[in-house]
Structure 1
Amino acid sequence: MLVSFQRGVRVVVLIALLAVGPAFLGASAQDDLPEVPRERTLVTQGWDYYNQIPSADNFNPYLGALLHARNNQHYTMNESLFYYDYFTGDVIPWLATGYTYNDDFTEVTITLHEGITWSDGEALTAEDVVFTIETLKANAPDLQLSSAMNTWVASAVASDDTTIVITLTKAGPRWVVDTFATGQAARFVVLPKHIWDGQDAKTFAFFDLAKGWPVGTGPYTLVRSGEDAVIFDRRDSWWALDAGLAEALPAPERIIYVAAAAEAMPQLYISNTLDMGRSLSIGLWEGARVQNPNLITWNDSGPVWGAPDGCVYRLTFNNIRPPFDNVTIRQAIDHAIDRNEIVALAYESSTTPVVAPLSSFAGVQAYVTPLQDVIDASGVGTFDTSMTDQLMQDAGYTKNADGLWADSSGAVLQFSMTAASTDPAGPVLVQQLREAGFDVTSDVLQGAAFTDAARAGNFDLHLWVHCGSTYDPWLTLEHYHSKYSAAEGEPTNNLRAYTRYANPELDALLDTMETMVPSPNDPAYMDLVSQALAIYLRDLPDITLAEELQVIPFNTTYWTGWPSAADPYSHGFPPWDGFARVIHRLQPAQ
């Protein structure tokens, strides 16, 4: 096996990776595996960038959002109660057959399929679901989803083997969909009570291949895990076949998850080493597809290649750090930003500018269209440095001899913008702000350092994405609720809500919206959305720049049946819950 070193990062570059014989796997009890030909093997990089497989001996799904639960297990071993079709708005039952609310949305009854079995042959029942909920509540705030579960759930009871009755602490008309159907970073994974009962959920690794751990209900089982790869082989049986939910076992006989860093991705796609994985920037994508015509993505032509993902690019202010606690400063910076130039230069015209944190999913646009007057009236997104000048003067600043903004004492306003090393918008934004008189420097971080800065509030401005609005504006707007605000240095409990902005007026609107069934056809609900959006556009806790349309390559050399704009049977985002539907649809190309 040939290994290449790029900037100190170990990258597997040859198809020898896929031979999965002893030479690749090394001497271990895990290596006694049957050979599977490449054309029956699916190779994925998962989603998150790693130099080597993290936590190769820990498959606890609630320890860390960016590990196996969203990089490989959700389309191999783990299955969800429900999946969600982001294009139609349909909830797709899977482990569950359906759910019903009581009249005031404070109680929900979920019914499971009969005959669901874990990979060790034990039955999955309502007791497993209740046990999982209770385990999360008992371990708040240390486990993923535990704080939310503790906040929302008063009690959960299994009334029989297939029925769970959950009493909520308040009305939650979105709760089932948001908790059980739309997992993206964190997601609800049912735990097998017969294994987890009596374990310390905060430390239990759920890994012992000799015992068949981890177990799951999906059509694959873990057969090997190490720092170089994690391997899942297809099982001979699967409850979904017996239930009539699936017509056949998935076509891939083996799925291999490998780690890769960002700089390795283009070559791994070009060389047919990868079938799927993380997105590429527009320039790298266009270069890769020329070298490998078997690569496809959501759209079959450019410049807009990618699909909506419920996310926008944003520049976040640390709203408790002066002078960014001053809304006038935030407004001034907004008018110094040329979104059209950012889209043209940084994103190579592959997306569109936006000023509100709302995606182009059809369900969200049903709200945006009638609210366009609110957006237009705000003036947000108007690139006009004369407006910047006036606002900065209103805030007590003047330009010095060097053309830089300084306060009344003559001290120059200096700040930094934190950005990921791979973000092409960083240099463009820094240059625009400098041209408007701001003495801004770029603080380029990678990996955990970048996300840790956001979580701890250790930044002035932070350039990242904002995800949430997949079917309702509240899903994004609620990230500006003051319950997420924290003192500087104290971690926020929601990495999508790290502005540290607080406004009781907005809180009250969001709290009311949360208890209502969202609908663009409900005048009362639309009035609340309009008011909340107007406050966001007035106060600008962050600046929305453009929609994120990720270009995710799929390789048709070995596998066909990938989702696309022409065949949108599923979303095309590997880390999201529901991507199992894609794996189930794939067919061999050879």
Structure 2
Amino acid sequence: MQGLLLCLVGVLLVGCGDGGHKNVPRSRTLVMDCSSLQDCSGQIKDYNSFNPFLLTGVSKTGWNFQYEPLYFYNAYNPHADNIIPWIATGHEYNEDYTEVTIHIREGVEWSDGQPWTAHDLVFTINMLKDNAPHLSFSTDMQTWVKSAVATNDHTAKIALTKPNPRFVFSYFTNNFDNGVPIVPKHIWEGQDPQTFSNFDSEKGWPVASGPYEIFISVPAQRVWDLRPGWWAQKTGFHQPPAVERIIYLTHMEETKRVQNLISNAMDTCLDIRPPNIQSILDANPNVSTWTGRELPLGYLDWWPVCLGFNNLEPPFDDPEIRRAINYAVDRDQLVAIGWQGAGTKSHLPLPDLPPIRQYTDTIKD
């Protein structure tokens, strides 16, 4: 099905609560609400902490883009170059995929000016292993990693417990909102990662490698400003983002999101139902979606809406019953009525992403 993310281009000025240390035009400010009801309802629960590994109370209001990955994955590029090297320049496995050597880009720096090295990657992996199962991704690292060592500042060698050709992609490539945050060893070493808040403005924490720095972080909002000296700009690897200020507000119910998008008080949100999207489009000519102002009003999402069965229980343990239900479902009608045309059908429990079409296009009835 199509995701229903909206984007809006604002033209007005916006305040930032406590004032700004620089004037940022509205056209260079991105305002959104936190997507997590559990972690941001009423207030941003982790407004005074920045520990991405805690299992509860962690909102995606900064760490998700400030801790840059080894690679990015572009799921919408049909060509082979949809893996984008970022912190890493490349990697190679041994013949049986039980060991991988990762090469770190030279010139990468943390926000405090310290070099980003293979020692940071190795430290993060070993820290997670040592704290399993109490941190996010810790059980994964314990399960898959036999050892991780840095042979020099720009080379890490990871021995795996068993063959895994997808190890780097699964854990150190930013794909589908997934990936292990890699943290600076010189900040986290000696800390208890299960309790470390990683937040102290006087010390310049959090230290990350991304292009922004925290300006305001209070229960009602978290504000990031573009910082000078981002490593990618200094080295000529990448230009800085055009967005100079990012404002996260607390989680909003859908009706409030609709009102804020109509009034230009917010620029983007995670998810809105099709009838409300159309209401916003009708009320505000500045609003656009991933497909403009025409159906399907969204992007190709990576989690299709599916109907599943308990195959261990009758009558669904009979494949003929499941096949009959599959044929009985009118997918075109579901899209037309249930989603008011804002979607596409799929005969597989997989999204129709371009890179996998070479495999799915050959599947027959």
What is the TM-score normalised by the length of structure 2?
0.86
1:44 matches 2:60: no
Amino acid at match of 1:255: I
Deviation at 1:72, TM superposition (A): 3.1
1:65–1:186 CA contact under 8 A, matched in 2: no
Match of 1:72 among 62, 80, 85: 62
**SS of structure 2 residue aligned to 1:367:** helix
1:19–1:35 CA contact under 8 A, matched in 2: no
1:318–1:324 CA contact under 8 A, matched in 2: no
Amino acid at match of 2:137: L
1:204 matches 2:200: no
Change (3 A) 1:305 1:39: closer
More helix by share: 1
Structure-1 residue corresponding to 2:158:
166
Deviation at 1:16, TM superposition (A): 11
**SS of structure 2 residue aligned to 1:312:** coil
Structure-1 residue corresponding to 2:179:
187
Match of 2:70 among 46, 71, 81: 81
Larger Rg belongs to: 1
1:240–1:246 CA contact under 8 A, matched in 2: yes
Cα distance in 1 for partners of 2:33, 2:84 equals: 26
Cα distance in 1 for partners of 2:57, 2:70 equals: 21
**Pairwise mapping of residues 470-549 of structure 1 onto structure 2 (< 5 A)?**
none
Structure-2 residue corresponding to 1:517:
none
1:130 matches 2:118: no
Amino acid at match of 2:273: S
Structure-2 residue corresponding to 1:310:
302
Cα deviation code 1:490-547 (max 9, x no counterpart): xxxxxxxxxxxxxxxxxxxxxxxxxxxxxxxxxxxxxxxxxxxxxxxxxxxxxxxxxx
Cα distance in 1 for partners of 2:98, 2:319 equals: 41
Cα deviation code 1:224-243 (max 9, x no counterpart): 21111001111111111122
Deviation at 1:325, TM superposition (A): 7.3
1:82–1:180 CA contact under 8 A, matched in 2: yes
Cα distance in 2 for partners of 1:134, 1:195 equals: 15
Amino acid at match of 1:36: V
Cα distance in 1 for partners of 2:329, 2:363 equals: 23
**SS of structure 2 residue aligned to 1:310:** coil
Cα distance in 2 for partners of 1:18, 1:65 equals: 31
Match of 2:96 among 104, 116, 121: 104
Amino acid at match of 1:252: V
Cα distance in 2 for partners of 1:280, 1:230 equals: 22
**Pairwise mapping of residues 443-454 of structure 1 onto structure 2 (< 5 A)?**
none
Structure-2 residue corresponding to 1:283:
275
1:176 matches 2:179: no
Change (3 A) 1:330 1:222: farther
Q: Which has the higher contact order (CA 8 A, sep 6+)?
A: 2
Deviation at 1:82, TM superposition (A): 0.7
Change (3 A) 1:334 1:281: same
Change (3 A) 1:367 1:95: same
Number of residue pairs aligned between Structure 1 and Structure 2: 347
Give % identity.
38
Amino acid at match of 2:172: F
**Pairwise mapping of residues 348-387 of structure 1 onto structure 2 (< 5 A)?**
348-372=340-364, 376=365
Deviation at 1:65, TM superposition (A): 7.8
Change (3 A) 1:126 1:313: same
Change (3 A) 1:17 1:293: closer
Cα distance in 1 for partners of 2:162, 2:87 equals: 25
Cα deviation code 1:222-277 (max 9, x no counterpart): 12211110011111111111222113x32322211112222221121111112222
Change (3 A) 1:242 1:16: closer
Cα distance in 2 for partners of 1:34, 1:242 equals: 22
Deviation at 1:32, TM superposition (A): 7.4
Structure-1 residue corresponding to 2:336:
344
1:144–1:186 CA contact under 8 A, matched in 2: no
**SS of structure 1 residue aligned to 2:150:** strand
**SS of structure 2 residue aligned to 1:195:** helix
Deviation at 1:105, TM superposition (A): 1.7
Cα distance in 1 for partners of 2:320, 2:256 equals: 40
Unpaired runs of 5+ residues, structure 2, are: 1-10
1:43–1:255 CA contact under 8 A, matched in 2: yes
Structure-2 residue corresponding to 1:252:
243
1:145–1:186 CA contact under 8 A, matched in 2: no
